Amino acid sequence: MELKRVVVTGLGAITPVGNSIAEMWENICNGVSGAGPITHFDASAFKTQFACEVKNFSAAEFGIDRKEARKMDIYTQYAIAAAKQAIDDSQMNLEVIDKNRVGVVFGVGIGGMNTFEEEVSNYAINGATQGPKYNPFFIPKMIADICVGQISIMYGFHGPNYITSSACASSSNALADAYNLIRLGKANVIVSGGSEAAIVPCGVGGFNAMHALSTRNDDPQGASRPFSASRDGFVMGEGAGCIILEEYEHAKARGAKIYAEMVGAGMSADAHHLTASHPEGLGAKLVMKNALEDAEMNPEEIDYINVHGTSTGVGDISEAMAIKDVFGEHAYKLNISSTKSMTGHLLGAAGAVEALICVLTVKNDIVPPTINHAEGDEDERIDYNMNFTFNVAQKRTVNAALSNTFGFGGHNACVIFKKYTE
């Protein structure tokens, strides 16, 4: 069967550097960090006391009234807000569109961690004297799939509706699924993305116990420093990103504006370690090769890579090695950047937000920077002759962009976007 083309017709974002696409993109291009002291709870006793939090978020601004908000974990509220922006941006006529052919597929790594912690803590404190008094909305607030259920209910979308969960690769896997559903003819439109809100005591404490987070408490905004020798762990972020993926002829028939075309997706597994990436980047190499093969593209056709680049010791090295291996001499001609240096690591939502950034890079021919770079790593496996776009954004023609996301468990996902042409 002939595979259908898939285009991007709407974007939405709730991030530590902006609660709209315009605000996020301006701050990303200007190298603005979203990090600061944690305000969601008292973190004074924790090894890490800062994060990249969403700021000035109002659920009511996105059509969620106070009564309904009480039934939703904050991760679901972020997902709905990003989806509403993207649906509005797509200018779909919801009165005439075939809602049986519109689906919602998101990636979520953890889900309602805030709700889970609140309810379990309440039982631990009061259970012995008051008995098990749980909120009747505890389970539907907490479960990781409820955000897509809420979006479908809000808009009446009856198409494919589910989440993917593969740790920090979750929302790239969601985009890959959405892409395949459309090109196989299973849907006309998929509202796809990811959401996460894990800046809670058990989230920060759990990652601290693993020694995964930066502890640069005296310099939060400079803490996420991918590919720098002084990197000491990732900075946790939160938020949501949403992309409207649409079958090309369907989009063209309704006169939709088209940001870019999604042309490929790849997946692989490291099969190596619970949390560490393969030291030689074997899974990272394979996932990029798989995505390029799926897109029927040569490595030389990629102009920009938004790397996983979390600011961890082994991870940054193995990804740099993988890029050099896959792209060969072209690795010195393309641009690379880690926007986690600004947004922090949004865990299950990372892939969606970074895919948004790739779409905007292709659309606007501006490569965002990797900020906070001061010194190179003495480890020769990071080749600094490659263009990591350190500290300052770069204008260049970007015809195709690739986004890498890797997750605990060895999950790897990669998506590719190109400039749209008829």
Catalytic residue numbers, as ranges: 168, 308, 345
Is 245 in contact with 178 (CB distance < 8 Å)? yes
Q: What would the 3-class secondary structure string for 387-418 be?
A: ECCECCCEECCCCEEEEEEEECCCEEEEEEEE
How far apart CA 40 and CA 278 sit, in angstroms, is 34
Is 406 in contact with 169 (CB distance < 8 Å)? yes
Cα 180 to Cα 3, 226, 320, distances in angstroms: 9, 32, 28
SS3 263: strand
Is 258 in contact with 9 (CB distance < 8 Å)? yes
Buried-state track 280-303, b at ≥16 Cβ within 10 A, e below 16: ebbbbbbbbbbbbebbebebebbb
Which residues make Cβ contacts (< 8 Å) with residue 221, sequence separation at least 6?
33, 35, 36, 372
Please provide the size of the chain in residues.
422
Q: Is the dihedral of CA 212, 216, 217, 222 positive or negative?
A: negative
Phi, psi of 298 (to 5 degrees): -90, 150
Tokens linked to 112: 């309602």
How far apart CA 229 and CA 237 sit, in angstroms, is 22
Closest CA to 263 of 412, 418, 422: 418
